[in-house]
Amino acid sequence: MKNIPVISPAYTQPVPARWRRDMERVLISDRQIARRIKELSFEIERDFQRREMVVVSLLNGTVMFLADLIRHLSLPLRLDFIGVSSYGQGTESGDLVFTKELRLDVRGRDVLLVDDILDTGRTITRVLEKLRALKPRRIKVCVLLDKPARRVEPVQPDYTGFKIPDFFVVGYGLDFAERYRNLPFVGVLNPKVYEAKKAPKKRVVKSTEAKE
């Protein structure tokens, strides 16, 4: 049984001063992330030993996680990316559109699919369907964060950094409206930030209209 760190809903750490307006709490610190990535790399190397693998990473949220992960892998590997966008409103996911296809041939090869977060499972399910159609030898899934409370598709990762509660998280590659990717930690976004984004703008009535 893999010893996956589970973050308690009550767990909290102080937020750096410059992020206190936007963050409710630090959920996972940069030190925790670094330590866990080393552990994940050991698990992956054990399972893929003596075989070349193709690492397939989902853009864009995986960039920081991917870079730190592969730096700790001494296995021979090749790297490629799949681009997937979810067109929805606010914080809800919508229709999935592939924005970048694989360049490498994965037929008969071992594939490690890397993503930043697994929540509903819809994106991973679609990507796995596309990859399986390319006839790889096997596919394993590695995610930094697993949010099982949101799952609607029957998919589970093979390697998990942390299991987290149903919080809106940003940082370490994860974004809201393309912001916060550069945070070195994973933080819980203050609801005021995304609620303000979803709120409809008030219509300003010009003085000429008011007179009519």
CB contact set of 112 (below 8 Å; sequence gap of 6+):
44, 48, 53, 54, 55, 56, 77, 139, 140, 141, 142
Q: What is the pLDDT of residue 68?
A: 98
Report residue 89: phi and psi, to 5°.
Answer: -115, 140
Q: What is the pLDDT of residue 89?
A: 47
Q: DSSP letters along 36-59, please? A: HHHHHHHHHHHHSTTS-EEEEEEE
Strands 95-100, 77-87: pairing is antiparallel
User: What does CATH list as the number for 17-211?
Assistant: 3.40.50.2020
- Name residue 97's beta-bridge partners: 85
Q: For the purposes of burial, counting CB atoms within 10 Å of the CB of 153, is it exposed (0-12), middle (13-18) or buried (19 or more)?
A: middle
Q: DSSP letters along 64-125, please? A: HHHHHHHHT--S-EEEEEEEEEEE-STTS--EEEEEE---S--TTSEEEEEEEEESSSHHHH
Q: What is the pLDDT of residue 23?
A: 95
Helix axes 63-71, 30-47, angle to 10 degrees: 60
CB 157 within 8 A of CB 118: yes
User: 65: which 2 tokens?
Assistant: 């996680």
Mean pLDDT by 10 residues, the chain (212 residues): 85 90 95 97 93 94 96 95 73 74 96 97 95 97 97 96 97 95 96 75 44 38
User: 13: which 2 tokens?
Assistant: 């750490």
Catalytic residue among 110, 115, 116, 119, which? Answer: 119
Q: Is 119 one of the annotated active-site residues of the chain?
A: yes
